[in-house]
Amino acid sequence: GESVGLHLPTLSVQEGDNSIINCAYSNSASDYFIWYKQESGKGPQFIIDIRSNMDKRQGQRVTVLLNKTVKHLSLQIAATQPGDSAVYFCAENILPGGSYIPTFGRGTSLIVHP
């Protein structure tokens, strides 16, 4: 099975609500995690990252939480806007032989209703 997965394939929220997207990973050796946003017709876009020596990191309207005990990652989006509608991927970076290879989850589709 996949080493990185998402609990919910689709998340629908109302504009202004907070959104939480979850991700589970299985490789306890992974030490670098990234969230990407992919809009229709575009490539994934970096949102926020976190290293395993941290459990929380905040950006502009986004927060990533890392729980290494249960190998869980979440992305929180505050005051969700219609422009946030996209597919969100988490990626864990695996380090075989000295170079990182990212493994991506399947993605969660976030739908924001105005």
Partner 1 sequence: KAGVTQTPRYLIKTRGQQVTLSCSPISGHRSVSWYQQTPGQGLQFLFEYFSETQRNKGNFPGRFSGRQFSNSRSEMNVSTLELGDSALYLCASSLMAGEGEKLFFGSGTQLSVL
Q: Closer to partner 1 at the Cβ: 91 or 112?
A: 91
State the Cα–Cα distance between residues 52 and 23, nearest whole angstrom: 15
Sign of CA dihedral 39, 88, 100, 96: negative
Give the residue from 12, 85, 91 showing the smallest Cα distance to 42.
85
Q: Closer to partner 1 at the Cβ: 83 or 97?
A: 97
Give, as ranges, the residues between 49 and 88 that touch partner 1 (CB under 8 A): 49, 51
Q: Does 43 bind partner 1 (CB under 8 A)?
A: yes
Q: Does 103 bind partner 1 (CB under 8 A)?
A: yes
Among 88, 107, 108, 112, binds partner 1 (CB under 8 A): 107
Hey, what are 102's tokens? 């990212």
